[in-house]
Structure 1
Amino acid sequence: MNTTFRWYRLSLTGWLVVACFLTVNAQVSVEAQKRYKEAIRLIQTGSYDRAKNELNPIIQRTGPLAPYASYYVALADFRQKNFSQSRLMLKQLVTRFPNWQKIDDAQYLLAAVCMEMGEYEDGLAALKPIGTPALRTEGVKLEQNFMGRLTDLNRLKRINRDYPDDKPVALALIDLIQRTATDKDDLELSDRLTNQFGVPVSVAGRPVSPVSSGTTTSANRPTTRPNRAKGYYNVAVMFPFRLDEFDADKRGRSNQYAYDLYEGMKMARAKLQEEGITVNLFAYDVENDPNKTLELVNSPGFAQTDLIIGPLYVEPNRIASAFANQNNILLVNPIATGSELVASQPMSFLAQPSLNEQARRAAEQARSLIGGGARRVAIYFGTSRKDSLLAAAYQAELKQQNYQILDFKRLSGTAQAMAEAMRFDGKMTTVGSVSAVPTTPVPITVSHVFFASSNDDDGARMLDALSRRRVSAPLIATASAFDYYRNPMSTFTRWELYLLYPDYIDTMREPVMAFQEQYIAKRNTIPSVFAGEGYDMLLFFGRQMAKNGVPFRSRTALRTDPEGDYVLSGFDYTESNENQVVPIVKYEDGRFIKIN
C-alpha cells in the first residue's frame, strides 16, 4: 500500500464520518457547526494547522462533535507525519469515547499510525477489535504492506507467535524465511506455515546457480541417460549453500548443516565407489526462486539426474517433486518431518521419520509398558510448534487406541510451574510449600506420561515436576528435551525414562567409530549428526538404485540391516515413503541403548 492509497483510504473514512455528523448536528450549536465545517474544508485543501485550530475548541467542549473533531485532528497530524501527536489523540479518543459509532475508523487510523512508527505489534493490536467488514478488509491490506517491510526475522517470529492465526503475518514470515534464512528450524517453520496459509504471492530469492562438485562438472555431464547396469548414477544436491557468503574459516554458519550433510555424502560416494557403484555428485546452490528452479530442472543436463536430494524450500521442492514424478527420478528430503511432503508423491521420500510415524512408534512402546493395564495418559509439550504438532499426533494415535487422555497442555518455566499446571483425574494437589505437601503420597493412576519438547532444559524440569506431583509412571519423552552434557547421570537413572531419539547414534558400534575416524582425518573436526545423515542417505539410496532399479521394482528390500554399516539407525520404506525407523532408547550401564 503506497502513501497515495493510504491517504485516499483515510480520506474516504473521513467523509464517512462527515455523513454521520448529520445525525447529531441538531444537538450542536450553530457556531460549532460552522467551525467544524470550516475545519473539514481546510483539511480537504491541506491547511492542517488551521484546521486543528478550528477543531481544538470543539474537542474541549466535549459535545457530540468532540469525537469527530478528535478524529480529524489525528488525521491532520497523520497527514503532516506528526505520528506521535496523532497516536496520542487517537488513544484519548478511544479511551474517552469507547462506544462512539465510528470507533472502528479510529482504530484503523491508530493502526496505520503505529505501523508508520514501526510499532507493528501495537498496530496489529489496534486492528484486532475492528468489526466493520470494509475496514477489516482494509486492515488486511495495511498489514500486507507493513509486515512485508520487516527484516528482523526474530521479531517477525515473535509476532507470529502472538498472532498465530494472522495470515498476512504468516505470509510475511514465510517470505522472509525463504529469502534470508538457512537455519533448519526456520525452514521447518516456513514449511508448517505454508501448509496452513499457502505460499506468498510474491516470492523473492537468489537465482539458482549450479556449482561443480567432485571430479565431474556440469559442463561435461553426459547428454544421454547413462547405462544403469554399469552402476553410473548422477545425484543432484539442491541445498542453500550460499557460496557468495562462504568463509572457509567460519564454522558457526546458520546453514552449516547443509555443508555437513554434503561432506557426509562425499564420504558415502567414496564408499560406494569401493563397492563398484559410481556416483557423480552435482551441488546446486538453491535458494527460493521458483522460476530459476524450474529453469534448472528443465535444463537438458538435469534430465540425466537419477536422484535429487533437496531442495529445502517449499516452492522449489514442489517443483522438483513434480519433475521427479514425471521423469521417474528419486527425490529425498533430508530434514523435513511432514507426512504431507510425500503424500501422493510416489518418487519422494523422507529421510527423517515424520511426526506421525514418531507418534505411532511411541504409542507402540507405551502399549508394551502397560500390557493389559489401564490406558490413562497425560500428554505435555513445550513451546515450539514442532512440540505441539508431535503431541497432537500422539494424542490422535492414543485416542484411536481408546486411551483416556487425563491432561493435554503446553508446559514451560520452572519445575514448580510445570507441576502446578499438571492435572490428573481432574484434580489438583497444591505443591511447593511445606504445609501443602501431603504427609502420605497422593497416588496418581496414570499408565504413562508423554512429553515433547525441543528445549534441552525442559526434560530435567519435567522429571522434577513429576516428582513434586508424586507421579511414578514411566515417561516417554523426546531426546531433544535433555542436554546430555550438562544433565548428570542421575537424571536418566532415577526414572523409568524412554527417549524418542530419531538422531540416535550408537558411538560404540564399529561402523560409527570408523566413520568418525575417517571424517576427522579428512576434515580435522568431529562430524555432526548431519554429516552422518548425509553419509547414510547417499549410501542407502545409492545401493538401492544399483540393486533395485529406478523406480524401485519392489519395496521388500527397501530397508537397512540393523547390523549394517550405517552411522544412524537406518531406513525402512517397506510400508510407505516415510522412514519407519524411529529409535527409542533407554539409559543402561552408563550409556543409551536402543530398545526397539
Structure 2
Amino acid sequence: MKFLLSLFFYIIGSYQVSAQLFKQKDDVSKGYTEAVRDIKNGKYQSAMQKLAPLTSANQPTIYSEYAHYHYGVAAYKNKQYQASKQMLLQLLNRYPNWNRTSEVYYLIGANNLGLRNWKEGNLYFDKIKDSSFQEDIQSLKQQYLQQYVDFDSLVEMQKQFPQDREIALELVSRIDKKSSHTKSEVTMATQLQKRFNIELKPKEDSPKSKTTESERLWGKGYYDVAVLLPFRLDAFTVSRRMSNQFAYDYYLGLLQAQKKLESEGISVVLSAYDVSTDEQQMKGIIENPSFQNSNLVIGPLYTSTFDVTMKYLAKSPMLLVNPLSTDANLLGSAKNLFLAHPTIQTQVEKGASFMKKTAKGAKAVIYYGNSSKDSTMAFAYREELKKLGGQILDMQKLPAERESMETLIPTFEQERPDHVAVFGTSSRFGQPLLATLDNRNLGKTPILATASSFNMRQVSLASAGKSLYLLESDYVDKDKEEMRKFQKDYWEVNSTFPSVYSYQGYDHLLFFGRMMGKYNAKFDQGLTLRRYESDQDGYLLGGFDYRHSHENQVPFILKYNGTKWVTIH
C-alpha cells in the first residue's frame, strides 16, 4: 500500500487549482479543501461526508473526478470497501477518459481483496499497464493471503489459479515452514518451485539457547493487539446505521486509547480482523504469522469462533480479553482469559446479598422483560434469593406497557413484598413498572433493577425519593472531567459523539495496555494487585477489579443521590 499512499498525497500536493476554481461557490471550495485535510489527518468518515455532495452527477464541478477518487481512498482507509468500490466504479463510468485510471484500477483491486474477492481483484490489477505498480500489487496480494487464507484453502486456490505466482510463493513458503510434510506436499512444493523459479532462503541453524514463545512475544519493546470483532465489511453501507455499529464504536475507542498509551510511553500496534461465526475463517486467522505475534487478543464474541480461539490459544502466553460477555461458563476456558464485565452470576449474587441487608424482610417479587438475558437474570436471582432464605411472592414476564402491568401485577393487599427485583433490557420497561408499583403503594419499597430497564436521564428525578438501586458496571458520568475531555477529543477526530461501546474500547485498551507496559509477560501480577478506581486511575467507566476472579468484579450497584448516580457497593 506504500504506492497508494505516496501517490495519493502526491495528488493532493501537486493538483494545481486552475482559474476556473474561483468561479465555484465558496462552500464547494471549502468543503473540498477540508475533506483533503481530513484525509491527511486520518478523519476518513468526515472526509467522506464532505466529498459525497461533490460527486453529484447533477451538479458537476472541477473537483468531480478528484472528489470521486478521494472519497474512494477515504472509504478504503476506513475499511468501507464496498462503499469505496462503488464510488470508484462510478468514477470510471462517468469519466472513462480520466488520466489516472491506473490508480483507480489499483484501488478497486485492493477493495475486492478487502471484500475477500480474489478473482475480481486480479481482474482489475491486470488492467494496469504501468509496471511501477507491480511491487505494490504483489505486496498487497501476499498480505491478503497471509491474513485471510488458511493452508487448505490456499491449496484449493492454487488449483483454481495455477498461473498466479503470489499464491504459489505463499504455498511453498507455508509448506517449507511446516514441521512435518506429506509426500504430496513435498511434490507440490518442488513442482511450484521449478515452475515459478522460487528460491527459498536457507534456514538458519538453531541457536544454542532456544528462545521461548513467551520471550519472543514479550521481548519486542511494543505490544501487538488483535481485535476480533464482527465488522461485517462485506455488508457495510453508508446509508444507514448498522446493527453491528457497536464494533466500529468500540474500535474508535481503542484508537483513542492507543494515543493515550503512546503519550505514556507504551507502544501498541492495533490489527483489526473481521470475525463473526465462521470457524474456518477463524482458523485461518490463527495460522496467520502476524496474528501469532499478538500480545493481547480482544474477542471474538460469538461462541463458535470463541471456542476455536480458545482451543488454540488457551495455553499460549497471550493475554485474552472478552470485551462484552457476562457468561460465567467462559471463565474455565483458559487461564489467560479475562472478562471485561462482571458475570450475570456475580451480579445476581451481590445484588441479592445487598438487598437482603437493605430490605426489612425476606419477601420479594421479580419482574422481567422479553429478552433471553432478562429471563436468565431473573431465574438466577430467584435461585440466589432462595439460598439466602428469601420468599418469592410473585414472579412474571411482563410486556413494557403500563396497561398490561396494571392488569397482571397483584395488588398485594394480603401480603406485601419487602423488595422488588426488575430485569429488563428495554429502556421502556422500567418507567411504567415504577408507576404501576406506585399505584400499589409500593413507591418506597426498595427496588433492585438493571440500569438497561430505564432511560437514565428520565429515571433520575423520578427516583430521587425512591429506594431504587441499579445494576450497572458501565455507568457514564458525563460530569467527570476525564469523560468531557474524551468526548471532545473523540468529536474532533470522528465528527460524531461516542457511544458506551466507545468508552468501553478506550477503557479496556488503556487498562490492559498499562498492565502489559508495566508488567510485560507477568501481566497477571498487575491485574490481581489491587482494584483500579475510575477516578483515581483515569478511566471513563467503573474501573477494574481482578483481585478475586478473572471477571471484572468492579462495584456495580448505583444509587441516585439527588443530583447524580453514584456507586454504593
* TM-score, normalised with respect to structure 1: 0.57
> 1:531 and 1:250 mapped to 2: Cα distance?
21
Are 1:493 and 2:464 matched, yes or no? yes
Output the amino acid matched with 2:225: V
> 1:237 and 1:208 mapped to 2: Cα distance?
22
Output the amino acid matched with 1:483: N
Are 1:462 and 2:433 matched, yes or no? yes
Match of 2:254 in 1: 265
For residues 27-61 of structure 1, what are the alpha-carbon distances to aligned partners after superposition, in whole Å with 9 as ceiling and x for unaligned? xxxxxxxxxxxxxxxxxxxxxxxxxxxxxxxxxxx
Match of 1:332, SS?
strand
Output the amino acid matched with 1:491: A
Are 1:385 and 2:358 matched, yes or no? no
> 2:541 and 2:392 mapped to 1: Cα distance?
33
For residues 301-360 of structure 1, what are the alpha-carbon distances to aligned partners after superposition, in whole Å with 9 as ceiling and x for unaligned? 322111111112221111112222121212211122111122242122211221111112
Structure 2 contact 310–333 (Cα < 8 Å) conserved: no
Are 1:341 and 2:313 matched, yes or no? no
> 1:484 and 1:595 mapped to 2: Cα distance?
17
Structure 2 contact 217–294 (Cα < 8 Å) conserved: no
Selected match of 1:414 from 381, 394, 401: 401
> 1:265 and 1:489 mapped to 2: Cα distance?
30
Distance 1:444 1:495, change over 3 A: farther
> 2:117 and 2:386 mapped to 1: Cα distance?
45
Match of 2:302 in 1: 313
Matched residue count: 364
TM-fit CA distance, 1:521? 1.1
> 2:487 and 2:354 mapped to 1: Cα distance?
31
Structure 1 contact 361–582 (Cα < 8 Å) conserved: no
> 1:238 and 1:411 mapped to 2: Cα distance?
36
Distance 1:405 1:207, change over 3 A: farther
Question: Where do 1:148-167 residues align within 5 Å?
Answer: none
Match of 2:546 in 1: 573
Structure 1 contact 358–582 (Cα < 8 Å) conserved: no
> 2:354 and 2:369 mapped to 1: Cα distance?
21
> 1:313 and 1:488 mapped to 2: Cα distance?
33
Match of 2:277 in 1: 288
Match of 1:550, SS?
helix
Distance 1:527 1:256, change over 3 A: same
> 2:491 and 2:482 mapped to 1: Cα distance?
14
Question: Where do 1:79-94 residues align within 5 Å?
Answer: none
> 1:593 and 1:553 mapped to 2: Cα distance?
29
Are 1:484 and 2:435 matched, yes or no? no
Output the amino acid matched with 2:491: I
> 2:327 and 2:524 mapped to 1: Cα distance?
25
Structure 1 contact 347–551 (Cα < 8 Å) conserved: no
Match of 1:137 in 2: none
Match of 2:383 in 1: 396
TM-fit CA distance, 1:284? 0.9
TM-fit CA distance, 1:406? 1.8
> 1:510 and 1:499 mapped to 2: Cα distance?
23
Match of 2:363 in 1: 376
Output the amino acid matched with 1:395: R
Match of 1:449, SS?
strand
> 1:488 and 1:537 mapped to 2: Cα distance?
28
Output the amino acid matched with 2:308: I
Output the amino acid matched with 2:564: R
Gaps of 5+ in 2: 1-114, 119-141, 148-176, 178-212
TM-fit CA distance, 1:577? 1.4
Distance 1:377 1:231, change over 3 A: farther
> 2:505 and 2:524 mapped to 1: Cα distance?
24
TM-fit CA distance, 1:582? 4.3
> 1:593 and 1:462 mapped to 2: Cα distance?
23
Distance 1:320 1:344, change over 3 A: closer
Output the amino acid matched with 1:232: Y
Are 1:327 and 2:316 matched, yes or no? yes
Output the amino acid matched with 1:238: L
Match of 1:327, SS?
coil
* TM-score, normalised with respect to structure 2: 0.59
Match of 2:499 in 1: 528
Output the amino acid matched with 2:462: T
Match of 1:300 in 2: 289
Distance 1:505 1:488, change over 3 A: closer
> 1:307 and 1:377 mapped to 2: Cα distance?
43
Match of 1:452 in 2: 423
Distance 1:318 1:378, change over 3 A: same
Structure 2 contact 225–297 (Cα < 8 Å) conserved: yes
Match of 2:8 in 1: none
For residues 407-453 of structure 1, what are the alpha-carbon distances to aligned partners after superposition, in whole Å with 9 as ceiling and x for unaligned? 22212253343244235xxxx66xxxxxxxxxxxx475422110101
> 1:479 and 1:301 mapped to 2: Cα distance?
40
Identity of aligned residues (%): 36
Structure 1 contact 359–393 (Cα < 8 Å) conserved: yes
Larger Rg: 1
Match of 1:11 in 2: none
Output the amino acid matched with 2:419: H
For residues 240-271 of structure 1, what are the alpha-carbon distances to aligned partners after superposition, in whole Å with 9 as ceiling and x for unaligned? 21223334x44612111101110101111111
> 1:579 and 1:498 mapped to 2: Cα distance?
20
Gaps of 5+ in 1: 1-205, 210-216, 430-441
Question: Where do 1:242-281 residues align within 5 Å?
Answer: 242-247=232-237, 249-250=238-239, 252-281=241-270
Are 1:550 and 2:518 matched, yes or no? no
> 1:503 and 1:315 mapped to 2: Cα distance?
27
Match of 1:456, SS?
coil
Selected match of 2:486 from 501, 506, 515: 515
Output the amino acid matched with 2:515: Q
